[in-house]
Structure 1
């Protein structure tokens, strides 16, 4: 993957957005390991704009890490200030899994009741219908299935 290139104005905007962020990934004495790359990739997928703290005193090593991270992960290097590196990559769109068994949620239905007298306006109501309900011909809401009552409650009612 190659690094994303941004204009100076875009980098300036991203630096301003990253100002209040805390470091999400910490790179220790081992350097850029596979685990660090995997964690950085996951953070970029989740947040888009991240800060990485490097615990190395050598500036050139930190600059090389920033270049390697941006090349390997396809991210844009935004800033290298002190021991902090700022990276940005657009967040990929999330795909929702399709569940075939899932039924639709509540529906809002407009019920119009005409008056028996011809000159009056019809009465308009919005009614919410849940999954276990149905709308009758007269405009009332009824349960589609009988409600199951426990034996104890049935005994109390009798």
Structure 2
């Protein structure tokens, strides 16, 4: 069955999920990231639902998700999807115009944004724990590429401001 880019798609129900693996800083947004998220797979739709439904924000209302394409599998289910349906309602999703940001930018209904480093799901637990701890430290000055020990320019500042105005 073909879907149009504006149609929303529900991901399959995951059977063996663990608690949302997320670390947030103190909320002052002083560094290049506000925390880290270690998704359980590279399935964008399943992980987006998990993030939205389990996000520990006082209001628990996410309005938009902006993702980096290389962090996720490029399968037919996610291609062109503009919304994901969750128990908390429909959430708009989009991607950075520039890749390799390794971020998930969450925009809350209040307008507040959280820039989360996306740790690859296949990362060993000890390594992921260390990276999450560093990313959630309000004294952290490292961008996503440095935190993941990747080579290349940090592009975490590119793209989400223009997307946020849609």
Q: Structure 1-normalised TM-score?
A: 0.27
Bigger share in helix: 1
Name the structure where strand makes up a greater proportion of residues: 1
Q: Which has the higher contact order (CA 8 A, sep 6+)?
A: 2
Q: TM-score, normalising length from structure 2? A: 0.26
- Computing the radius of gyration from Cα coordinates, the structure with the larger value is 1
